[in-house]
Amino acid sequence: MLSMSLSIRNLFNPYRGMPREVYVIFIARVIQAMGCFVMPLMTLILTDKIGLAGKEAGVYISIAGFIMAPAAMLGGKLADSLGRKKVIMFFDTLGAGFYIMAGLIEPSLSTVYLIIAAGTSMSTSGPAHDSLLADLTTPKNRDGAYALSYMGWNLGFAIGPIVGGLLYNYNLSLVFFGDACMALIARVLIGIYIKETLHKTQEKIEDKTRFLERREQGSIFAVLLRRPTLIYFAVIVFGYHFVYSQWSFMLPMQIAHNFPSNAAQFFAFLASLNGLIVILFTPLLTRAFQEIISIRRMVYGGVLYALGFGMLGFVYSLPWFFLACFIFTLGEIILAISTTPFIMNYTPVSHRGRMSAVLPMIFGLGNTLGPVTMGYALQYISIETGWLYLGGFALVAAGLMYGLERYMRLDRGKGSKEQTLGGVIKMFNDCSTERVKAKL
C-alpha cells in the first residue's frame, strides 16, 4: 500500500516545486476550459440557431480560421513589446465582452461577426500565454509546466462542452454568458496573482547551457534565418498535424461507413476515450519521459501516430478502433508536452511572443490542409488505403525528426539535454566569421 502511494506521488514529481504562478495558470486553464461553450458548438449555432446553410457556415468558419493567424502574429509582437499580462488581460477581456454582446441580441449574422471577433481577440492573446509560462520557468522545469497547463485544459474541456450542450438546449444566450463569465474569472486570477514578466526578458542569462535563450536583435524572420533548425522542426510538426487532423475528418466517415446505425454514439465513445486517456496518462508519460530530450520524444510521438492511425487501415470491429485511439492519443500527449518546451528552449527571450505565433502558424496549416487534401484523395482511394498512406506519412515525419536530432548533434557528439543546437549555431557563426576574415 505504501509502495503504491509512493508510486502515485512520484507521478506528480514533474509538477512539484514550480513557481506559484504556474499553479495559478493551471487553475485558470481549468476554469476557462470548463467554460469553453461557444467554439465546440459553433457549427450548430450557425446552422441550427442562425439558419445558415452548411456551405455558408463552412465559409464563416474558414474566415474565422484565416483571421486568427494574423491576429496571433499581432499578439506575439505586442507580447514582446508591451508585455504578456497586458495583452492577456486586454484581449481576453475584449473577447469575453464580444460574447456578452452576442448573448444580448437575437441570433443573426451580427452574432456570427461577434463570435468571430471574440475568437480573434482570444487568438491574439495566445502567444502571450505561451510566453508568460516560458518567462516563469527554465529548461529544468519547463516540460512539467507546459504538461500541467495542457492537462489543466483537458480537465476543464472534459466538462465544458457537456455543460455547453445543456445550456444550448435551454437558452442560447446562456452559452455566450457562461463562456464569457468563466473567461473573466480566469482573467481575474491572472490579474490578481501574476505580475508582468516582460522585465525578465531584460535579465542577463548567465547559464551557459541556456545560450539560445539570450536576447537578440532583429525581426522574428531574421532570428529564424539564424536558427533554421526551428523552421525544419515546424515543417516536420506540420506533418504530424496533417495526420492528426484526420481524427475529426476521416475517422467519423469511417465510423459512419462501418456502423451506420450507431455512428454518432460510437464516435462519441472514441472522443470520450481520447479525453480520458489524456487526463489519466499525461502525468504518467510526463514522468516516464522526464529524462528524455524533447526532440527524441517527438520521434516517439510520431511513431505512435504511425501505429495508431496506420492500423485504422486494417480494423473493422469497434474494439480495434478503441485500441487505435488509445495508441495515437498516447502520441498526442507526448507531442503536446514536448512541442512548446522545445520551441521555448531555443527561442531568444526577446522573441518568445513572436515565435509563439509564427511556428504554430506553420505547423497549424496541417490542420487546415489535412481535411482538404484527404477529401480530394478519397475520390480516388478508399478510406482504409488513406489511413495506410497517413501512417506511412507519420513514420516519414518521425524519421525526419530523428534526422533533425542527429543534425543537432553534429557539433557535439556528447550532447547534453537540449543544448546541442547552440553548438550548431556557434559553428555556423564561427564559419561565417572566418569567411569574413579571409575576405579582409
Same domain, 163 and 30: yes
Give the per-residue pLDDT at 9.
Answer: 63
Which CATH number characterizes residue 333's domain? 1.20.1250.20
What pLDDT does residue 7 have? 57
Residues shown for the chain: 440
Residue 430 domain-assigned? no
pLDDT tens for each residue of 394-417:
999 999 999 999 888 874 444 444
pLDDT recorded at residue 431: 39
For residue 293, the one-letter residue type is I
- Please tell me whether residue 125 adopts helix, strand or coil conformation: coil
Q: What HEC string does 328-386 produce?
A: HHHHHHHHHHHHHHHHHHCCCHHHHHHHHHHHHHHHHHHHHHHHHHHHHHCCCCCHHHH
CA dihedral 142, 144, 149, 151 (to 10 degrees): 160
Instruction: Indicate if 172 and 255 belong to the same structural domain.
Output: no
Give, in order, the Cα–Cα distances in Å from 55 to each of 76, 116, 267, 368.
Answer: 32, 17, 23, 16
- 115 Cβ partners below 8 Å, 6+ apart? 38, 42, 45, 64, 98, 99, 102
The predicted-structure confidence for 269-309, as pLDDT tens digits, reads as follows 888 788 889 988 998 898 888 888 889 999 999 999 999 99
Domain assignment present for 228: yes
Structural domain boundaries enclosing 331:
218-408
C-alpha 327/C-alpha 322 separation (Å) is: 9
pLDDT at 264: 67
* Cα gap 151→156, rounded to integer Å: 9
Q: Output the CA torsion sign for 111, 117, 119, 121.
A: negative
Instruction: Return mean pLDDT, the chain.
Output: 84
Residue 257's pLDDT is what? 83
Domain count, the chain: 2
Q: In the chain, which residues have pLDDT < 70?
A: 1-11, 54-55, 207, 264, 411-440
pLDDT at 387: 94
Q: Are residues 189 and 234 in the same domain?
A: no
Residue 18 Rama label (left phi>0; alpha psi -120 to 50; beta): beta
The answer on 255 and 187 residing in a single domain is: no
Would you give the DSSP letter of residue 49?
Answer: I
Is there a single domain that holds both residue 237 and residue 139? no
pLDDT at position 10, please?
Answer: 66
Do 358 and 223 lie in one domain? The reply is yes
Residues 427 and 418: their CA atoms lie apart, in Å, by 16
Residue 131's φ and ψ, nearest 5 degrees, are -65, -40
268 located within any domain: yes
Max intra-chain CA distance, the chain: 77
Q: Which three cell numbers stand for residue 105?
A: 441580441
Determine the pLDDT at residue 251. 85
pTM of this structure: 0.82
Give the DSSP H/E element, type plus range, for residue 30: helix 20-34
- 117 located within any domain: yes
Judgement on whether residues 222 and 158 belong to the same structural domain of the protein: no
DSSP letter at 121 equals: H
